[in-house]
Structure 1
C-alpha cells in the first residue's frame, strides 16, 4: 500500500497502540488471572503449550523463562499432533486467540484422546465452546487486537500457570516494575521521536530495502523469533532469526560479499547476557565483511524485564519499518489465503 499524500513515514500506524499498551495490559491481565483455574492440583510431568502463529509467541517467552527454574519440561507445540510423551501426567494449555485455529483445535482433540488434563486460553470461538462443553477450564479474555498483538493477554495467564505449579515464580511487584519499564520504553520509541533519539526507528530506516537477520543470545532467543515473525506480518518483510552461541558455529560462515549487498544484522543485546562476547566477535566479523550491524540495546535489570522489553523493541521495530515503507501492517492476505485453501481440503489430506 502506498503512503497517502501528506502523511509522514513516522505517523502512527494502527498497530502502534498495541505496542504502547503492552505494559498496562500485562499488569491488568496478571491481576485478573489470579482467579485462573487449573484442571489438576499436582505438578504434571510435562507442561505443553499448544498454539500456533501469534498465539504461540507468549508460550515461547514463558518456556524460555522457565528453562532456568522448572523441574519439568515446558515446551511449545505447533502443528496438529502432540509428542508421544503427552498423557495423563501432562498438562496441555490450548491457546488460540480467535478460538478457531485449526491446528490448535487438532491439538486439543489429540490431548483429549490422550486423557491429558487441559486448560484453554482464548477469546472464544470453537475452542471456547468445545472446552465449555467438555468441562475444561477456560480462561477468556477480551481484546480487539489481532493475535500477534495480543501477546500480553496470553502471557499473563501463562505466567500464572507457571507460578501456580511452582515452575517459574514472578511476583506482582516484579510484574508491575517490568510493566512500567515497558510502558516508558515504548514511549521513548514512539513514532514522534526522531531517529537521532530513537534507536529502533533509526534501525528501521536503515533496514529499508535490505533483509534483516535478527541475532540474539539464548536469553533473548524467543524475542529474536518474535522479531522475525513481526517483521514479516507487520512490515511485510522477509527476515531471519538466529541464536548465539549456535550461530557462531554455522551461520557466520555465510557472511560473504553477497550477504553484504543484501542483508543487515539486527543485534539484540541486554546487560549481563552471557552471549555478549559472541555478539562482539560476530560484530567484528560482520564489519570486516561489510555487513551492516544494527545494535538494539534492550533495557532491564534481569531476564524477566529484558525479555518483556525485548518484545516491545521488536514489535516497535516492525511497526516503524511498516511506517517508513508506507505499508499498512494490519492486512495478512497471504495467511488468510493459505487458511482458506487448507480449510477446503478433505480431512484425510491434512495431517492430524
Structure 2
C-alpha cells in the first residue's frame, strides 16, 4: 500500500485519472457492466432445465420441463429453502431471504459452514452455491444434504461441485468462470430467483426486473470511472471513507443483507476494516458505545442505508440516533435507495457500495481483485 495522502485534491485527482495499473484484473469493467450481467444471469435461470422431481405435479409432465414453460402456482411440498455457501457465494441467499420475506410462506435459511441443521430432509429445496465449485465447507454441507435426501440444485462455474452433480444426478446452473465471486453477485442471485419463480414458489418479477435494469443503467453512467468525482456519489463516498473506520447501518428487512454486503466489499475490495449493524437492533446496544468520547469514535464514519419506502418507525429511530451520536463520530452519511420496487431499492444500494469499495481500493493504492490473506489461509489449511 502506498503513502497515505490527506490532501483532498490529490485524492480527487487520483480517482479522476486512469488507474488501470492498479486494477490489473479490470474489475471496474465487471462492476460497470452489472446491468448486462443481470440480463445474462436471468437468461441462465430461464434456460435451466428443471428436473420433474422438483416440479408441481411431477407425474403430469415429461421427463424434463421445457426451459421457458411456466409452472403451476401449486407447488410440491417443500418445507424450507436452504442456501449453502460461503463468502461472496452465500450473499445471494441472504439477499433472497430479505427480498422474499413478505412473499414466501416457507423460510430461506443460509448455511455458512461444514454442517447442516437437523430440519434439512427430503422436503428441503437446497441451492448449493460455490462459484469455484471447490469451497471446502460447502462441499461438506452438500454431502450431508445428500445423505438427508434433500432436493438439490447446484450453482457453480465448475470444480468438485460440478463433478458431484454428475455422480449424484442433481442439476447444475452453470455460471461463467473467471470472475471473483463477490463480483459475480448477479449470477449468484438472479438464477435462483428465476428458478423459484419457475417452480411456482414466487410470483413473476418482470416489472421489478425492468425497473431495476433501467435504474442500474442510469447509475452505471453516474458512478462509472469516467464520471468525475464532483458528480459521482460512489467516488464521493469513497473519498469520505478514506483513512476512516466505516460502520454500515442498514435496517431490518430489505437492507439487512445489503449492509453486510457493503461491509464485506470494503473488506475484500478496499482491504480495509469495516463493520455493520441494523436498526432497530443497534438502538438496544451499539448506540451506548458512543457515550464516551474518544479517538476511536472520532475516526468512525457511519454510512446509513436509507430505504425511502421503508418503515416510518425505523426512519424516526435513525433520525433520533443520528442526533444523539452525530457530534461523537467523524461523519454520518445517508445513502438513500432508488426506485419504488423492492428489487431496485436493494440493488441500487448494492451497486453504490460495490463501486464505492472499488474507489476506496484505488485511494488505498491496492488492486481490488486479489485476496492474499484468504489464499494464504487456504494454503495453510491444505498442509
- Same-fold status (TM-score > 0.5): yes
Deviations 1:167-214 (A, max 9, x none): 433423421321221121122112333333222211211111111000
Query: What is the aligned counterpart of 2:257 among 222, 226, 230?
Result: 222
Give, in whole Å, the separation in 2 of the partners of 1:343 and 1:300: 46
Give, in whole Å, the separation in 2 of the partners of 1:330 and 1:21: 16
Give, in whole Å, the separation in 2 of the partners of 1:125 and 1:290: 46
**Counterpart in 2 of 1:253?**
288
Matched, 1:200 2:234: yes
Give, in whole Å, the separation in 2 of the partners of 1:192 and 1:295: 24
Give, in whole Å, the separation in 2 of the partners of 1:167 and 1:283: 40
On the 8 A contact 1:49/1:59 being kept in 2, the answer is: yes
| SS of 2:155 mapped into structure 1 | strand
On the 8 A contact 1:26/1:155 being kept in 2, the answer is: no
Deviations 1:61-116 (A, max 9, x none): 11111111111111111011111110111111100001011111111101011111
**Counterpart in 2 of 1:267?**
304
On the 8 A contact 2:15/2:235 being kept in 1, the answer is: no
Which protein has the larger Cα radius of gyration, Structure 1 or Structure 2?
2
**Counterpart in 1 of 2:58?**
none
TM-score with structure 2 setting the length:
0.85
Query: What is the aligned counterpart of 1:29 among 41, 49, 73?
Result: 41
**Counterpart in 2 of 1:236?**
271
Q: CA deviation at 1:290?
A: 4.0
On the 8 A contact 1:204/1:318 being kept in 2, the answer is: yes
Matched, 1:300 2:336: no
| SS of 1:300 mapped into structure 2 | coil
Structure 1 gap segments, 5+ residues each: 345-352
Q: CA deviation at 1:238?
A: 0.5
- Aligned residue runs from structure 1 range 144-223, under 5 A: 144-218=178-252, 219-223=254-258
**How large is the Cα RMSD of the aligned pairs?**
1.8
CA separation of 1:166 and 1:288: change in aligned 2, threshold 3 A: farther
Give, in whole Å, the separation in 2 of the partners of 1:22 and 1:288: 37
| SS of 1:273 mapped into structure 2 | coil
Query: What is the aligned counterpart of 1:99 among 133, 137, 151?
Result: 133
| SS of 1:126 mapped into structure 2 | helix
CA separation of 1:81 and 1:342: change in aligned 2, threshold 3 A: same
TM-score with structure 1 setting the length:
0.92
On the 8 A contact 1:80/1:104 being kept in 2, the answer is: yes
| SS of 2:83 mapped into structure 1 | strand
Aligned length: 342
CA separation of 1:16 and 1:43: change in aligned 2, threshold 3 A: farther
Give, in whole Å, the separation in 1 of the partners of 2:92 and 2:334: 24
Give, in whole Å, the separation in 2 of the partners of 1:32 and 1:62: 17
| SS of 1:119 mapped into structure 2 | strand
Q: CA deviation at 1:248?
A: 1.1
CA separation of 1:294 and 1:327: change in aligned 2, threshold 3 A: same
On the 8 A contact 2:46/2:195 being kept in 1, the answer is: no
On the 8 A contact 1:143/1:150 being kept in 2, the answer is: no
Give, in whole Å, the separation in 2 of the partners of 1:226 and 1:35: 28
**Counterpart in 1 of 2:61?**
none
| SS of 1:331 mapped into structure 2 | coil
**Counterpart in 1 of 2:15?**
9
On the 8 A contact 2:44/2:173 being kept in 1, the answer is: no
Give, in whole Å, the separation in 2 of the partners of 1:166 and 1:217: 29
